[in-house]
Structure 1
Amino acid sequence: MVLTMTEDVQRHSVHTLVFRSLKRSHDMFLSNQGLLPPVDETAEKIRKAVKARDCYGMVFDDVKKMQAMKHLRESEAGPNPPPPGTAETEAAELSEGAVVPYMENGFANRNQPVNSQNQLANIMKKAPTMPKPKWHAPWKLYRVIAGHLGWVRCAAVEPGNEWFATGAADRIIKIWDLASGQLKVSLTGHVSTVRGLAVSARHPYLFSCGEDRQVKCWDLEYNKVIRHYHGHLSAVYSLALHPTIDVLLSAGRDSTARVWDMRTKANIHTLTGHTHTVSTVLAQASEPQIITGSHDSTIRLWDLAAGKSMCTLTNHKKSVRDLVLHPTLNMFASGSPDNIKQWKCPDGKFIQNLSGHNAIVNCLAVNPEGVLVSGGDNGTLHLWDWRTGYNFQRLQAPVQPGSMDSEAGVFSMVFDHSGSRLITTEADKTIKIYKEDDTATEETHPINWKPDILKRRKF
């Protein structure tokens, strides 16, 4: 009991000392408060404005642009409201306690009148504008070719533009007359689905690859296989021919792309670095000479001489299913379940997103007129203006009679060399050919163009 009382006394005395110490400190600082200089309101306001400009300068600029656009729309629609910078808006801002903006030549004087029209014009000049898309005629289906007994997975047009070849899950490569759609030749030799085709521009050769791990070279004068390229450890999904040297490129499920000498069958390079299936490979004469897209969501640009990766593009969030080179510009596009992206060579600089294709994008094709077409896993085709990314047409491919609606996927597509016909290969075992509608004009099919000035800023 005595001990408890002692502890209470000690605790009480400690509390008393701490309280007195705090009170002394408080009284001391309170007494010194009168010695401080008075607060200069102008200086305080300037300090706040400088800090606000430093932290939120870009936000201020965006707000000014949006206000300018709003005032411009209102002035076009009805009676003119006071534009930003006039006495009325200045007074309103003052009444709301707005921060004084910092200008390049000093702080804005609220009492000084500003030439509102010039200010609005300057802001409008700085605002990003969307270029108007070029008009393209709508496309329509004009031929359906049936003949394969399985999913048609790939197509290639020969350089003379007289025939095209298709490969399918029935293990057969078929060659068709482009003008009439008649079957010319069937080539058998693969023991599994044919996934890639390429026709040489300098030799009478057709190259094919498939899920049987084989890469074959066919002599089209005899319609026989004359070379095999052995090396892939799993299914081969894509082929490409270098346009100027006798080099063949293949890519597949073993996460590699391989560079072959066309004549000696030697494996010159094995391009390793991807961590998942390499679904597509491109070759071009200029740098980068090889571009690959993979299911690891990346695109790689390769140095052909060294056989090494120059650059890895990681913008896509999902697997890259297809790549396509623009025939005249030094650019390429990539297709993925998240969206379509455009890139500029040689550094792989990102240009813009093309979003709105609500399906897995399996394939892409582009013609010299700047029509980019994307094919989806649900049978939809979206047609885009390359330069502006404007989606000017959407098509749903009709399913072959007797097929299920679920068999409506577009697996590959290619334009003929004139750019006037589009060949698609599909899951309903057919090949469909589209062409432009000759009767369409800008009056009958106008551009439904509603620009959003901040569209490019979202990505």
Structure 2
Amino acid sequence: MSTKNTMTEDVQKHSVHTLVFRSLKRSHDMFLSNQGTLPTVDEEAEKVRRQVKARDCYGMVFDDVKKLQAMKHLRDSEAGPNPPPPGTSEVESTISNETAVVPYSDTSLMTRTPQANNVNQVANMMKKAPTMPKPKWHAPWKLYRVISGHLGWVRCVAVEPGNEWFATGAADRIIKIWDLASGQLKVSLTGHVSTVRGLAVSARHPYLFSCGEDRQVKCWDLEYNKVIRSYHGHLSAVYSLALHPTIDVVLTAGRDSTARVWDMRTKANVHTLTGHTHTVSTVLAQSSEPQVITGSHDSTIRLWDLAAGKSICTLTNHKKSVRDLVFHPTLNMFASGSPDNIKQWMCPDGKFIQNLSGHNAIINCLAVNPEGVLVSGGDNGTLHFWDWRTGYNFQRLQAPVQPGSMDSEAGVFSMIFDNSGSRLITTEADKTIKIYKEDDNATEESHPIDWRPNILKRRKF
């Protein structure tokens, strides 16, 4: 019993720290014999490892430095007997190659000069900065005639191929024909029972075609000023009308989300172009491919094969409704107008060219003349004039609202250049027709181009 108590007292004499230290000492003594001495470092292997790592991380720098040193050594040897710089002698090169895992051999020193090497390096590292081409100078446009006569919003305009008169259609359901030179009213045509929304004059027949919100498409004989044909088939308002330049067909588009192709003489509905999911606001026709292009409030533009009556492709770049399209008179291109911006496209595949941004309004109409002046008309009465090639906005106009009209009636609904391209005819919400022409007194000095080439042109897709 006494022995047991004595052992308990001996255990209790030592603190926890002492016991832990003794345990660590025993563990150390136990494993010390297994450790032995640390292995010696092989200096040669370590050197090779460092060279491999350096070559992997900085190989391109090493190569360029060696080339420059070698060329300098060649120049120095040609100039006189000077000792080569360290690291470029044959002995040192041989030693470095022997110690390297992958020996370095330069085969391009004899064929490339340092100048060419530097030029290639600069060309690879630097990209050519995009620049904005200098726009062509265009004379500013000014308002020179205001024509009144309609009793409602003037919604559409068309110019006769002989450039002697033009026709307008309005919400008063009347088509009026005006003398282009004097602005005098020649004749009024009645027959529609709702707003007239589209007009087109045939270049090969004495016919005027019209369409309106009464779902009617009419053919007027200009020798008798009477309707001789009507084309029935649209289920809702007809908003746009176009004539094919070489084939006797009429193209119409409207609120029933379709565009229709009519035989001019038999009045037959040849094709119904379906695919849009909203109002088709504008339709264009030309003799080359694609022969038909439509723009819709579903934010898309469709290119159509007229013979098959099927869609070739759909352009979805616009984010808002497409209100108008226009062909360039000499280039195989067209432009589209939308509240977000104006876009230019290349035919026949609809390749996107560039954006024309800055007309912060709902763009109702577009027009372009052979000189490359593109005009856009906004729902707030603003006109923007652009250089077609560069997209440079060289002029902005705000047409004054006529007396008796509200400021909110400052809207441009349609526009067209006459066949000479020297006069611009606009139809507006204040019930007037305005004609613009170039300022004859303007020069490049009096109206210089505000061109800043250091500001790069940005493209939005």
TM-score, with structure 2 as normaliser = 0.75
Task: Measure, in 2, the Cα distance between the counterparts of 1:256 and 1:430.
Answer: 31
The answer to whether the 8 A contact 2:343-2:355 is kept is yes
Name the counterpart of 1:275: 277
Name the counterpart of 1:17: none
Task: Measure, in 2, the Cα distance between the counterparts of 1:170 and 1:46.
Answer: 80
| 1:457–1:428 Cα change, 3 Å | closer
Task: Measure, in 2, the Cα distance between the counterparts of 1:427 and 1:457.
Answer: 33
Q: 2:444 is matched by which residue type in structure 1? A: E
Name the counterpart of 1:99: none
The answer to whether the 8 A contact 1:379-1:396 is kept is yes
| 1:405–1:377 Cα change, 3 Å | same
Task: Measure, in 2, the Cα distance between the counterparts of 1:333 and 1:375.
Answer: 13
TM-score, with structure 1 as normaliser = 0.76
CA deviation after TM superposition for structure 1 residue 48, in Å: 11
| 1:140–1:258 Cα change, 3 Å | same
Q: Unaligned stretches of 5+ in structure 2?
A: 1-37, 62-106, 109-113
| 1:255–1:47 Cα change, 3 Å | farther
Equivalent residues in 2 for 1:195-234, closer than 5 Å: 195-234=197-236
CA deviation after TM superposition for structure 1 residue 126, in Å: 2.6
The answer to whether the 8 A contact 1:352-1:456 is kept is no
The answer to whether the 8 A contact 2:214-2:237 is kept is yes
Name the counterpart of 1:377: 379
* Larger-gyration structure (1/2): 2
Task: Measure, in 2, the Cα distance between the counterparts of 1:240 and 1:343.
Answer: 20
Equivalent residues in 2 for 1:24-63, closer than 5 Å: 38=49, 40-46=52-58
Task: Measure, in 2, the Cα distance between the counterparts of 1:398 and 1:124.
Answer: 51
Name the counterpart of 1:421: 423
CA deviation after TM superposition for structure 1 residue 43, in Å: 3.9
CA deviation after TM superposition for structure 1 residue 450, in Å: 1.1
CA deviation after TM superposition for structure 1 residue 454, in Å: 4.1
| 1:417–1:113 Cα change, 3 Å | closer
The answer to whether the 8 A contact 1:173-1:188 is kept is yes
The answer to whether the 8 A contact 1:371-1:385 is kept is yes
CA deviation after TM superposition for structure 1 residue 315, in Å: 0.3
Task: Measure, in 2, the Cα distance between the counterparts of 1:429 and 1:160.
Answer: 26
Identity across matched positions, percent: 87
| 1:455–1:145 Cα change, 3 Å | same
CA deviation after TM superposition for structure 1 residue 118, in Å: 9.6
CA deviation after TM superposition for structure 1 residue 455, in Å: 1.9
Q: Please, which of 131, 151, 154 is the counterpart of residue 152 of structure 1?
A: 154
Q: Please, which of 371, 380, 388 is the counterpart of residue 390 of structure 2?
A: 388
Task: Measure, in 2, the Cα distance between the counterparts of 1:304 and 1:165.
Answer: 28
Name the counterpart of 2:445: 443
| 1:146–1:248 Cα change, 3 Å | same
CA deviation after TM superposition for structure 1 residue 121, in Å: 8.8
Name the counterpart of 2:357: 355
| 1:378–1:205 Cα change, 3 Å | same
Q: How many residues align?
A: 368
Name the counterpart of 2:143: 141
Task: Measure, in 1, the Cα distance between the counterparts of 2:116 and 2:200.
Answer: 66
Q: Unaligned stretches of 5+ in structure 1?
A: 1-30, 50-104, 107-111
Secondary structure in structure 2 of the residue aligned to 1:258: strand
Secondary structure in structure 2 of the residue aligned to 1:455: coil
Equivalent residues in 2 for 1:283-298, closer than 5 Å: 283-298=285-300
Q: Please, which of 308, 316, 319 is the counterpart of residue 317 of structure 1?
A: 319
Task: Measure, in 2, the Cα distance between the counterparts of 1:340 and 1:449.
Answer: 20
CA deviation after TM superposition for structure 1 residue 451, in Å: 2.6
CA offsets 1:171-198 (integer angstroms, 9 cap, x no match) = 0000000000000101010000000000
Q: 1:233 is matched by which residue type in structure 2? A: L
Secondary structure in structure 2 of the residue aligned to 1:406: helix
| 1:180–1:457 Cα change, 3 Å | closer
The answer to whether the 8 A contact 1:362-1:376 is kept is yes
Task: Measure, in 2, the Cα distance between the counterparts of 1:325 and 1:232.
Answer: 25
CA deviation after TM superposition for structure 1 residue 398, in Å: 0.8
Secondary structure in structure 2 of the residue aligned to 1:217: strand
Equivalent residues in 2 for 1:84-233, closer than 5 Å: 126-233=128-235
Q: 1:235 is matched by which residue type in structure 2? A: A
The answer to whether the 8 A contact 2:142-2:437 is kept is yes
Q: 2:335 is matched by which residue type in structure 1? A: A
Task: Measure, in 2, the Cα distance between the counterparts of 1:413 and 1:137.
Answer: 19
Q: 1:320 is matched by which residue type in structure 2? A: V
Secondary structure in structure 1 of the residue aligned to 2:54: helix
The answer to whether the 8 A contact 2:283-2:325 is kept is yes
Secondary structure in structure 1 of the residue aligned to 2:409: coil
CA deviation after TM superposition for structure 1 residue 281, in Å: 0.2
